[in-house]
Amino acid sequence: MGCVKLVFLMLYVFLFQLVSSSSLPHLCPEDQALALLQFKNMFTVNPNASDHCYDYTDQRIQSYPRTLSWNKSTDCCSWDGVHCDETTGQVIALDLRCSQLQGKFHSNSSLFQLSNLKRLDLSYNDFTGSPISPKFGEFSDLTHLDLFDSRFTGLIPSEISHLSKLHVLRISDLNELSLRLHNFELLLKNLTQLRELNLEFINISSTIPSNFSSHLTNLWLSYTELRGVLPERVFHLSNLELLDLSHNPQLTVRFPTTIWNSSASLVKLYLSRVNIAGNIPDSFSYLTALHELDMVYTNLSGPIPKPLWNLTNIESLGLHYNHLEGPIPQLPIFEKLKKLSLRNNNLDGGLEFLSFNRSWTQLEELDFSSNSLTGPIPSNVSGLRNLQSLYLSSNNLNGTIPSWIFSLPSLIVLDLSNNTFSGKIQEFKSKTLIIVTLKQNKLEGPIPNSLLNQKSLFYLLLSHNNISGHISSSICNLKTLIVLDLGSNNLEGTIPQCVGEMKEYLSDLDLSNNRLSGTINTTFSVGNSLRVISLHGNKLTGKVPRSLINCKYLTLLDLGNNQLNDTFPNWLGHLSQLKILSLRSNKLHGPIKSSGNTNLFTRLQIMDLSYNGFSGNLPESILGNLQAMKKIDESTSFPEYISGPYTFFYDYLTTITTKGHDYDSVRIFNSNMIINLSKNRFEGHIPSIIGDLVGLRTLNLSHNALEGHIPASFQNLSVLESLDLSSNKISGAIPQQLASLTFLEVLNLSHNHLVGCIPKGKQFDSFGNSSYQGNDGLRGFPLSKHCGGDDQVTTPAELDQEEEEEDSPMISWQGVLVGYGCGLVIGLSVIYIMWSTQYPAWFSRMDLKLEHIITTRMKKHKKRY
C-alpha cells in the first residue's frame, strides 16, 4: 500500500512539474534581443511625425515610437510590436508600422538575424531613401511582408521572389521604387500562395503577366505605369475580391463577354484613368457581390450603360469625368446605394426621377455637378433623408431651392453654385455643415442665422448673388471657417471688427463688390492665417490698416475701388508672401518714398496702384526689389493659376488692366507679371531698371507726367505682351530694339513728344495709327508721314533738320533751275581747283553728300505736288 502511495506521489510531482514548466513563458533568445536592440539603435524617432497615419485603405492608425519601450532589462517577447512563439520563444513577428522610425536602413541590418520571422511590418516609417536589401529574401518562413510607404528607393530586388510562403506582399512608395519586368514575372511565378499583392506607385512600366496566384483575393496595381492589354484571366480569378488598376492610362481593359469566374466574389473594382475598350457588356449584370465600382476618366460615352443598373448590391458608383450623354433614366432600386457620382459628363434633362426614388434611404452622397441638367429641383423628394453631400453645381438648374434640402438633418456639404436658383436661403436644420457654396446664382435676402451658428463650417461661399442686409458680428462665431466669400452681393454697413480676430483657421476673406462703408476698423490679430483679403469695390474710407502687417501669410491684398485716403503703405513690403497688391482707384497720394530696404515686395507679381494721386518720381527702389519679376515663368504649356491650399471651391480673383482692357474678377496665372502705375501724377524719367524685370507681361505707365526717353533696356522684356506709355511727356525716338519684342500684342505710345521713324518688323508691323497718334514728330508705317525709301532710321538731330527744311517757304521750280545753273558753274570751278591741287578724295566725299541732299529734296517736293 505504501508503495502504491509512493508511486502516485511521484506521478503527481512529475505531472505538476510538467504542467508548471509548460505554463511558464519561454524567454526570447539573448541573441535575438540583442539584434532587436541593435536595430533600434540604428534609427532615431522622427521629431516631425504625426500622431497618426492612414493606411492604403484610408484607415487611421495611431502613430507612436514603439521601440522606445525596448530595453535589455526586460524580456523582448514583452516589447511593443514584438511577438514570440509560445513554445520556443523565438521572435516570429515584428509589427513596427507607424513607429516614427527615421534613418538609413542598412543592407547588413541586425534585423536579418531574426531568421524565424513569419510576419514583418515596417510600413509608414522614414528610411530616408534607403534601397530595399536583397536579404529580405532570406526570411524563408515569411508569410506577411509590408514595406508600404516607408521611403525606400531604387529597384525592388529579385530576391523577394524567393519568399515562396508569402500570403501578403505590400511594397509601395510614391514613384521612388521600380520593378523590372523580369522580376515582376518572377514574383507572380514563385509566389503561388499570395492572397494580397499591393504594388501601388511602383514604376513597373510593362505589360501585365497572366500567371497570378489562383489564391489571390486583393490586387492593387494603381499608378504603376502598366501598359498593353489586361489579360482576361485576371477577371477569372475565382477568389478575387478587390481589383485596383486605376491611374494607368496606357493600360487597355476589355471586359469578358461571358460570365466572370470572379462574379460571385468581386466586391471592389477600381478602373479610373484606364482605357476601357468597347462597351460595358451584359456580363456586368452578374457581378452580384459588387459593392464599389469606380470608372472615372475612362472615356465612356453614350447613354449610361444599362448593365450597371443590375448591380443590386452596389454601394458606391463613380462614373464621373466621362462622356456620358442623354437624360438620367429612372434609376433602379439601389437599396444599399450610398454614393452616386455622375459629375462632369454631358447629361441633360431634368431631375424629376428624384421624386420617384423612394428606396434610396441609405444614399449619403449625390453628385450630378458639371452637366447640362435643366429645370428645377423637385420639391416632393422624400427618399433622401440620410443625404449628407449634395453636389449640383455648374448646371442650368433654376427655380427656388426646395425646403427638403434645408431640412436634411445630417447635411454636411451643399454645392449648388453656378446655376440660376432664385429666392431666399432658408434656415438649415443641419448642425453639421462643413461646406456651403451657393455662389453665382440669383439668391436674395439676408444670410440665415443658422449658417452663422455652425460649429464645424469650413467653407461659406455665397458670392455673386443678390444677398442683402448687414454682415452680422455673429459670423465671428464660425471658429473653424477657412474661406468666407461674400463678394459681389448687395451687403451694406460696416465690416465687423471681430473678423480680423478669426485667426485660427480663416485663410481667404472676400467681401469685394458690395456696398460696405466706413473705415476698415478691424484689427488683424498676430498669428492669423489669412492668405487672401479682397475688399475691392466698396465704399471704404480712412487709411490702410497698419495691423495688416500681422498677416504673415498674405498672398493677395485687393483694396482697390474704394475711397481710402492715405500715403503709400511701404510697410506692406515686409509681407514676404505677398504676390498680388491692388490699391487702384482710391485717394492715395504723395510720393512713394524709398525705405532703403532691398527685401521689400520681393515676391510681388502684380502691382496695381493706378487711378490714385501718387506724385514724384517712379518708385525706383521698389521696382528694383521685384525679384519675382526678374525671371521668366517657363510653365507656358500648362500654365498654373496663383492659388492657395484651399482653392477647390475658391479661386484667387482680382481686377487687372492688361492689353488695354480692364478685367474684373479674373483668375491669375503664375506667369502674370503686371505693373500698373497709370492715372497718377508721377513725373521724371522712366527708370532703366525696369528692363531688369524680364518676366514682365504688362507695363502701364500711362496718364502721368513722365518725360525723357524710352529706356533702351526695355529690349530685355522679351515676354512683354502689353506696353502703355500714353499721355505723358516722353520725347526722343522709339528705340529700334523694341522691334525684337515678339510677344508684344498691345502698344500705346500715343500723346507724347516722340520723334523719328517708327521701328519696322515683327510686331511693329501689326500696330495701327492709334498706337502713335498725338506724336507729331513720328514717321513711318502706319502713319501717313513716311521715312523715305532707304529704310534707315532717322536720328532726332536729322529729323529736326528735315522739319526745319519742310517748314521753309515753298521753292519754285524756276528758282531750283537757277540754283542748279549757278551751282554748276561754281561746281566746275571748284572741281578744277581741287583736281589741280590733288584733292580727289575730298571731292568724292563732297559729291556724294551733294547728291544725297539734292535727291532727298527732289523727292520731298514731288510728294508735295
CA atoms within 13 A on the CB side of 770: 4
Confidence class of residue 481 from pLDDT cuts 50, 70 and 90?
Answer: very high
Query: Beta strand pairing status for 101-102 and 44-45?
Result: antiparallel
**CATH number for 578:** 3.80.10.10
Nearest C-alpha neighbor of 125 from the set 49, 18, 41: 49
> Does any domain span residue 172?
yes
Shared domain check, 749 and 818: no
Confidence class of residue 647 from pLDDT cuts 50, 70 and 90?
Answer: low
Residue 579 has pLDDT above 50, yes or no: yes
Shared domain check, 733 and 598: yes
If you average pLDDT over residues 49-65, what whole number do you get?
A: 87
Residue 11 has pLDDT above 70, yes or no: no
> Does any domain span residue 7?
no
Confidence class of residue 664 from pLDDT cuts 50, 70 and 90?
Answer: low
Shared domain check, 834 and 752: no
**Residue 27: per-residue pLDDT:** 80
Domain boundary among 432, 457, 476: 432
**Burial (CB count <10 Å: 0-12, 13-18, 19+), residue 826:** exposed
381 phi and psi angles, rounded to 5 deg: -90, 125
**Burial (CB count <10 Å: 0-12, 13-18, 19+), residue 601:** buried
> Does any domain span residue 272?
no
> Does any domain span residue 85?
yes
If you average pLDDT over residues 197-223, what whole number do you get?
A: 93
For 419-433, what is each residue's pLDDT tens digit?
A: 999 999 999 999 999
Phi-psi region of 536 (alpha: psi -120 to 50; beta: other; left: phi over 0): beta
> Does any domain span residue 572?
yes
Count, in order, helices (H) and strands (E) of the chain. 8, 58
**Burial (CB count <10 Å: 0-12, 13-18, 19+), residue 851:** exposed
Amino acid at 5: K
Residue 819 has pLDDT above 50, yes or no: no
> Does any domain span residue 292?
no
> Does any domain span residue 424?
yes
**Residue 516: per-residue pLDDT:** 97
- The span from the CA of 56 to the CA of 616, in Å, is 62
User: Of the ranges 13-27, 182-196, 209-223, 834-848, which one carries the lowest mean pLDDT score?
Assistant: 834-848
Shared domain check, 331 and 185: no
Q: What HEC string does 573-592 produce? A: HHCCCCCEEECCCCCCEEEC
Shared domain check, 822 and 733: no
If you average pLDDT over residues 829-854, what whole number do you get?
A: 37
Shared domain check, 827 and 755: no
pTM of the predicted model, to two decimals? Answer: 0.82
Q: Are 692 and 627 in contact (CB under 8 A)?
A: no
DSSP 308: G
**Residue 789: per-residue pLDDT:** 53
Q: Are 763 and 741 in contact (CB under 8 A)?
A: yes
Shared domain check, 823 and 757: no
For 780-818, what is each residue's pLDDT tens digit?
A: 989 888 886 544 444 444 434 433 333 333 333 333 333
Shared domain check, 757 and 825: no
If you average pLDDT over residues 751-758, what whole number do you get?
A: 96
For 365-401, what is each residue's pLDDT tens digit?
A: 999 999 999 999 999 888 888 999 999 999 999 999 9
**Residue 330: per-residue pLDDT:** 77
User: Of the ranges 129-138, 423-432, 841-850, which one carries the lowest mean pLDDT score?
Assistant: 841-850
User: Of the ranges 345-354, 763-772, 852-861, which one carries the lowest mean pLDDT score?
Assistant: 852-861
**Residue 659: per-residue pLDDT:** 59
Domain boundary among 432, 455, 490: 432
Domain boundary among 204, 226, 257: 204
**Residue 651: per-residue pLDDT:** 60
Shared domain check, 623 and 738: yes
Q: Are 726 and 700 in contact (CB under 8 A)?
A: no
**Residue 25: per-residue pLDDT:** 53
Confidence class of residue 548 from pLDDT cuts 50, 70 and 90?
Answer: very high
Please write down the long-range contacts of 114-118, taking CB distance under 8 Å and 24 or more positions apart: 114/32, 114/35, 114/36, 115/139, 115/140, 116/85, 116/90, 116/91, 116/92, 116/141, 117/91, 117/92, 117/93, 117/141, 117/142, 118/92, 118/93, 118/142, 118/143, 118/144
Confidence class of residue 31 from pLDDT cuts 50, 70 and 90?
Answer: very high
Shared domain check, 396 and 329: yes
Shared domain check, 849 and 756: no
- The span from the CA of 781 to the CA of 765, in Å, is 7
Residue 855 has pLDDT above 90, yes or no: no
What average pLDDT is seen over the chain? 86
Query: Residue 298 contacts by C-beta under 8 Å, 6 or more apart in sequence?
Result: 271, 272, 273, 274, 275, 276, 322
> Does any domain span residue 119?
yes
**Residue 182: per-residue pLDDT:** 84
Report percent pLDDT > 90 for the chain: 70
**Burial (CB count <10 Å: 0-12, 13-18, 19+), residue 80:** middle
Shared domain check, 410 and 341: yes
For 498-507, what is each residue's pLDDT tens digit?
A: 999 888 899 9
Domain that holds residue 649: 567-762
Report the number of distinct structural domains present in the chain. Answer: 4
